[in-house]
Each structure stands twice: as structure tokens, then as C-alpha cells.
């Protein structure tokens, strides 16, 4: 039985086994192919589910074991995007990357992750969460040589995501989360079309809907960027009031070891809040007391049945041991707080 208060969950990704791809690396290429790859990915999903269940995570995910990248693995399956040509583009206003080019009308030719969602559902009795990239972050991971309009392209992606999300929800998934790290960078665009396209992506879903907004993995480009943000990170102050008025049920944010003022959670009144109580940028394992301290601070602004202890971001670049220890710490910290609530 899941807990009725402080239900633990994770942002999304977990490290992959070394036989599936090279560990400790983002966007690491697969070591298998064809049928062996598909079977290997499913075996990896079974393992991360067992790890999460043993660690006491209430709402589990497939750890994104079937994806090389949280955005491009989705985009690769769409019509209208050419991966043979690439252009250099500034990502999240932070670093240059080689990205594929939109050369025609984007379309979903076939279901993308729906089989994966069915497999996840078949392998666990727990509440299950599935992640998808958000429309604005997808736009920010491509060079658009066709629409020449970020809002137009975001609206097209929202339509595609909604079709995909409806089928994922129909597979029995309990929470669908859209990852929108771009929401922490392009504030005018969030206001002008980001919230609207996010809501379009989530429209009519029978399950819970969530959005994850963070300061990124622990890669150097992100840690350098964080150094420029000053002593208080107030980026959420711009987006939370807009999300509070939106139809999205849950907001996942970064808290532990970050300079985000905890009282910004107050701007999300009425929403479920996924409080990041695990730092994904360090191998140091949080103690249960540290996790509990972060959760108690958040409890000043959100009720215990609306607070979901979570990780700050995905754990894919960490070692499997470190990720497992961090999952245990998350659970143990939540348990400490539950004791004092009772």
C-alpha cells in the first residue's frame, strides 16, 4: 500500500546497467542492437523497478532505461526532423550543441513510448509515472528550418505529445510528467506560449499530470551557469504563479543543496509539489536527517498529502550504487517526517 502522506517518487531517469551502455555518461550509446537491445532495455526496467520497490519508492518509473536522451529519443521517431543534417545551436542559452533540423511538417507516424508504458504497467503493482519532454524544451533542442516560429513549432509538438500521452494514460499509467527545463530560462516565452502548449500537451488526460522544472544534471555547463545566478535562485518566482493558475496537477522542483528560496513553494498553492530532496550533482549520499530537514522546510508551505519527496532531477549520470543509496535516503527521510506527523 502506498503511503497516504509524503508519497515518495523520482524525477525520472536512473543509471543504466554497464552491459546496456557505458556508465557514468550522459547520452551514452547502446551496447546492444535489434532484439537484444529491446530485451536488454526491458531487463533494465525490471531491475530499476526492483531497486525502487526495495528502496521504498511509492510512485515508480521505468528510469528512462529505453532512452538515450530525454528529448532526442522522442524526436528521432517523428516525421519532419532530419537527423542526418545538424546545426550548431545554443541550448537553454547555456552551451552549444549539434542538433537535428526541422525540415518539414512534424508528425507522429506511430506510437513512440506506448509499448514501453504497457511494459512498465505489466511489471509493477505500484503507482507508475511516465515522463515525456515538454513542448518548449523540444523546441529548444532543435534547429527549426521550416516553421521559423518557436510558438508554432511548440504547438505542433503539443499536439503530438497529447496523442502520445493519451495512449500512455490508457495503458494504465498513473502520472504523466512533462520535463520543461527550458521553463527556467525563457521566462517571456513561458508566459507567451509555454504554459499554453504545456496544457495542450496534457489536455484531457485521465491521469495526474506533472511538470518538472530544474537546474539540470551535474554537468559542467550547468554548474558554471549556476555560479552566475547569485545567492538566491528566484527563477521559479516567474513561472510558479502561471503554473498555479494552470490545469497541471503537480510541479516537480529542485530544493536540496540549491539556492532556491523555499518560500517560493507558496506560489503553488493548491498544487501537488514534488520536492527535490536529493542532490543529483554529487556522489555524496544525503542522510535521512538531511532529507527530513528539506521536507520539513517545505511542509511550512504545502500539506503532507500534497508533498511528494523526490529527487532534484534525473539520476542517469550517477553510478548505480550511489543512485540506490540516494533512493534509500529519500525513503528513510520521508519515513522520519511521517513519524512526527503521526
Give the number of other CB atoms < 10 A from CB of residue 233.
Answer: 17
Give the number of other CB atoms < 10 A from CB of residue 127.
Answer: 17
Q: How far is 93 from 90, CA to CA, in rounded Å?
A: 6
Residue 254: CB minimum distance to Zn ion, A: 7
Sign of the Cα torsion 97, 98, 99, 102 reads positive
* Sheet strands side by side (includes 175-179): 59-60, 127-133, 175-179, 208-212, 250-254, 272-276, 307-310
Q: Tell me whether residue 173 or residue 214 sits nearer to Zn ion (CB atom).
A: 214
Q: Tell me whether residue 201 or residue 214 sits nearer to Zn ion (CB atom).
A: 214
Residue 298: CB minimum distance to Zn ion, A: 17
Q: Any idea how long the chain is?
A: 342
Residue 184: CB minimum distance to Zn ion, A: 9
Q: Tell me whether residue 154 or residue 280 sits nearer to Zn ion (CB atom).
A: 280
Q: Tell me whether residue 154 or residue 214 sits nearer to Zn ion (CB atom).
A: 214
- Applying CB under 5 A, which residues contact Zn ion? 214, 313
Q: Tell me whether residue 198 or residue 336 sits nearer to Zn ion (CB atom).
A: 198
Residue 36: CB minimum distance to Zn ion, A: 30
Q: Tell me whether residue 189 or residue 254 sits nearer to Zn ion (CB atom).
A: 254
Q: How far is 108 from 168, CA to CA, in rounded Å?
A: 14
Residue 174: CB minimum distance to Zn ion, A: 20
Residue 214: CB minimum distance to Zn ion, A: 3
Residue 252: CB minimum distance to Zn ion, A: 8
Beta bridge partners of 175: 129, 208
Q: Tell me whether residue 190 or residue 313 sits nearer to Zn ion (CB atom).
A: 313
Residue 140: CB minimum distance to Zn ion, A: 14
Task: Please give the grid coordinates belonging to residue 41.
Answer: 532495455
Instruction: Write the DSSP assignment of 253-321 as a string of letters.
Output: EE-TTS---GGGGGGGTTSEEEEE-S-SS-SPPPPHHHHHHHHHHHHTTS-TTTEEEE-SS--TTS-HH
Instruction: Write the DSSP assignment of 225-253 as a string of letters.
Output: HHHTT-SS--THHHHHHHHHTSS--EEEE
Residue 255: CB minimum distance to Zn ion, A: 12
For residues 213 and 247, the answer to whether their CB atoms sit within 8 Å is no
Residue with cell 499530470: 209
Q: Tell me whether residue 93 or residue 289 sits nearer to Zn ion (CB atom).
A: 93
DSSP state of 29: P
Q: Tell me whether residue 100 or residue 181 sits nearer to Zn ion (CB atom).
A: 181
E strand or H helix at 40? helix 34-55
Amino acid at each position: 500500500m502506498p503511503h497516504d502522506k509524503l508519497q515518495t517518487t523520482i524525477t525520472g531517469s536512473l543509471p543504466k546497467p554497464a552491459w546496456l551502455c557505458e556508465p557514468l555518461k550522459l547520452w551514452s550509446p547502446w551496447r546492444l542492437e535489434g532484439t537484444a537491445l529491446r530485451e536488454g532495455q526491458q531487463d533494465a526496467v525490471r531491475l530499476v523497478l526492483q531497486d525502487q520497490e526495495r528502496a521504498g519508492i511509492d510512485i515508480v518509473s521505468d528510469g528512462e532505461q529505453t532512452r538515450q536522451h530525454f528529448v532526442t529519443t522522442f524526436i528521432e521517431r517523428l516525421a519532419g526532423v532530419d537527423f542526418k543534417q545538424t546545426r550548431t545551436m545554443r541550448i537553454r542559452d547555456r552551451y552549444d550543441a549539434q542538433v537535428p533540423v526541422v525540415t518539414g511538417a512534424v508528425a507522429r507516424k506511430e506510437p513512440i513510448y506506448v509499448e514501453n508504458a504497457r511494459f512498465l504497467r505489466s511489471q509493477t503493482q505500484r503507482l507508475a509515472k511516465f515522463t515525456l519532454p515538454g513542448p518548449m524544451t523540444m523546441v529548444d533542442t532543435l534547429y527549426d528550418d521550416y516553421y521559423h516560429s518557436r510558438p508554432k513549432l511548440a504547438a505542433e509538438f503539443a499536439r503530438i505529445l497529447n496523442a502520445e500521452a493519451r495512449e500512455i494514460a490508457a495503458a494504465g499509467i498513473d502520472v504523466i510528467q512533462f520535463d520543461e527545463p527550458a521553463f527556467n530560462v525563457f521566462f517571456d516565452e513561458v508566459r507567451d506560449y509555454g504554459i499554453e502548449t504545456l496544457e495542450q500537451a496534457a489536455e484531457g488526460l485521465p491521469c495526474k499530470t506533472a511538470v518538472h522544472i530544474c537546474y539540470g544534471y551535474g554537468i559542467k555547463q550547468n554548474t558554471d551557469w549556476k555560479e552566475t545566478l547569485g545567492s538566491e535562485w528566484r527563477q521559479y518566482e516567474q513561472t510558479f504563479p502561471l503554473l498555479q493558475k494552470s490545469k497541471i496537477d503537480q510541479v516537480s522542483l529542485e530544493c536540496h543543496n540549491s539556492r532556491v528560496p523555499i518560500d517560493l513553494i507558496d506560489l503553488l498553492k493548491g498544487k501537488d509539489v514534488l520536492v527535490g530532496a536529493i542532490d543529483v550533482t554529487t556522489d555524496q549520499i544525503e542522510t535521512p536527517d538531511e532529507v527530513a530537514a528539506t521536507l520539513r522546510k517545505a511542509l511550512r508551505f504545502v500539506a503532507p498529502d500534497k508533498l511528494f519527496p523526490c529527487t532534484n532531477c534525473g539520476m542517469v549520470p550517477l553510478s548505480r550504487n550511489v543512485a540506490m543509496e540516494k533512493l534509500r535516503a529519500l525513503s528513510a527521510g520521508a519515513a522520519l517526517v511521517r513519524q512526527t506527523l503521526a
